């Protein structure tokens, strides 16, 4: 688990599918005056191994989050009943699942576009052939090997969605996302098949049906440029939280935390100041 330092309430950051805890370094740098931050690599991502059977159920991500919270409490004991959580995409869902599993883990959660498929979507996905989901199919086609990290950075930086990423964030992603190979190349640590299984498992996640179990303050943030397939989950879900609040960030899409860490940091500070006042 990465420790980003800082002062203030202990905070755990959870990344989205295909990424790792290192992508939060630029965001964390902007939050250190307010929060003491830790970011795990969820299973199958970054330096964390995938399960041998490649079961990428998102309940497993919740267990990773709970373990990170326990370690964070040991390293930097929280002053209140729970830690603060910041999550992006699947990581935001993992925070919610962790709170459902162990109520009181978090005193407040900031979720940027959590993935929360409703029952109809889950049934439709279950009836599809394996690999038919567009995101999963795309992940399986992903190029996994490059001659160097510099080559990977140049290629990613010229293609969507990475071309809009904050350059420092993209560099942090590339540095930790790839492992050196014996023949001098670099290869993705989160293998294409693992990422595909993450997407497929996401469409079986039933967190939407249980949102009323999340009793802590829950801020749901969505980007003003998000498409129906990414931003609509938050809009549909926010009223299901007992203490839910909606925040909309103009000009950002589903990858907002990786595109504009300044805007996200300002939004998070405001949200947590209100939640903990």
Q: Three-state DSSP class for 31?
A: helix
Work out the number of other CB atoms within 10 angstroms of the CB of residue 125.
Answer: 17
Mean pLDDT of 190-203: 96
Confidence of residue 263 (pLDDT cuts 50, 70, 90): very high
Q: What average pLDDT does the chain have?
A: 92
Q: What is the pLDDT of residue 276?
A: 64
d(C-alpha 140, C-alpha 43), whole Å: 18
**Mean pLDDT over residues 225-232, rounded?**
76
For 122, phi then psi, to 5°, come to -65, -40
Tokens encoding 194:
């693992």
Q: In what order do the strands lie in the sheet with 145-146?
A: 145-146, 186-188, 178-180
Least confident of 52-66, 111-125, 185-199: 111-125
Inter-helix orientation angle 192-202/90-101, to 10°: 60
Q: Are 36 and 76 in contact (CB under 8 A)?
A: yes
- Cα distance between residue 60 and residue 7, in whole Å: 29
Helix (H, G, I), strand (E, B) or coil at 189: coil
Q: Residue 234: which pLDDT band, with cuts at 50, 70 and 90?
A: confident
Element (H, E) at 98: helix 90-101
Instruction: Report the predicted TM-score, pTM, of the whole model to 2 decimal places.
Output: 0.94
Beta strands at 10-14 and 83-88: parallel, antiparallel or unpaired: parallel
Residue 222, φ and ψ in degrees, nearest 5: -135, 150
**Whether the predicted pLDDT of 256 surpasses 50:** yes
Cα distance between residue 83 and residue 36, in whole Å: 10
Summarize pLDDT for 102-123 with one digit per residue, the tens: 999 999 999 999 999 988 788 7
Question: Which pLDDT score is estimated for 131?
Answer: 45
pLDDT, tens digit, 9 for 90 and up, residues 132-189:
578 899 999 999 999 999 999 999 999 999 999 999 999 999 999 999 999 999 999 9
Query: Where do the DSSP E strands lie in the chain?
Result: 2-5, 10-14, 36-39, 83-88, 106-112, 145-146, 178-180, 186-188, 217-223, 244-249
Q: Are 130 and 240 in contact (CB under 8 A)?
A: no
Locate 13 and state its tokens: 């950051």
Q: Per-residue pLDDT tens for 17-41?
A: 999 999 999 999 999 999 999 999 9
- 2-123+205-276: CATH topology: Rossmann fold (3.40.50)
pLDDT at 227 over 80: no
The least confident of 45-59, 80-94, 111-125, 261-275 is 111-125
Closest CA to 75 of 155, 122, 11: 11
Q: Which residues make Cβ contacts (< 8 Å) with residue 127, sequence separation at least 6?
A: none
């Amino acid at each position: 688990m990465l420790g980003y330092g800082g002062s203030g309430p202990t905070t755990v950051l959870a990344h989205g599918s295909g990424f790792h805890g290192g992508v939060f370094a630029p965001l964390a740098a902007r939050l250190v005056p307010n929060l003491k931050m830790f970011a795990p690599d969820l299973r199958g991502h970054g330096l964390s191994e995938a399960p041998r059977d490649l079961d990428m159920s998102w309940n497993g991500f919740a267990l990773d989050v709970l373990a990170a919270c326990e370690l964070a409490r040991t390293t930097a004991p929280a002053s209140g009943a729970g830690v603060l959580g910041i999550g992006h995409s699947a990581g935001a869902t993992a925070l919610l699942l962790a709170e459902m599993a162990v109520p009181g883990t978090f005193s407040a959660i900031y979720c940027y576009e959590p993935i929360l498929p409703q029952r109809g979507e889950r049934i439709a996905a279950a009836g599809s052939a394996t690999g038919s989901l567009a995101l999963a199919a795309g992940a399986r086609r992903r190029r996994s090997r490059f001659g160097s990290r510099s080559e990977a950075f140049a290629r990613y930086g010229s293609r969507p969605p990475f071309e809009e990423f904050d350059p420092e964030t993209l560099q942090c992603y590339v540095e930790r996302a790839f492992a050196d190979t014996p023949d001098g190349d670099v290869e993705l640590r989160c293998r294409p098949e693992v990422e595909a299984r993450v997407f497929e498992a996401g469409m079986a996640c039933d967190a939407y049906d249980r949102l009323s179990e999340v009793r802590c303050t829950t801020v749901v943030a969505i980007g003003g440029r998000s498409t129906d397939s990414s931003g609509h989950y938050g809009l549909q879900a926010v009223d299901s939280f007992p203490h839910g609040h909606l925040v909309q960030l103009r000009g950002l899409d589903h990858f907002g935390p990786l595109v504009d860490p300044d805007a996200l940091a300002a939004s998070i500070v405001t949200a947590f100041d209100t939640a903990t006042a």
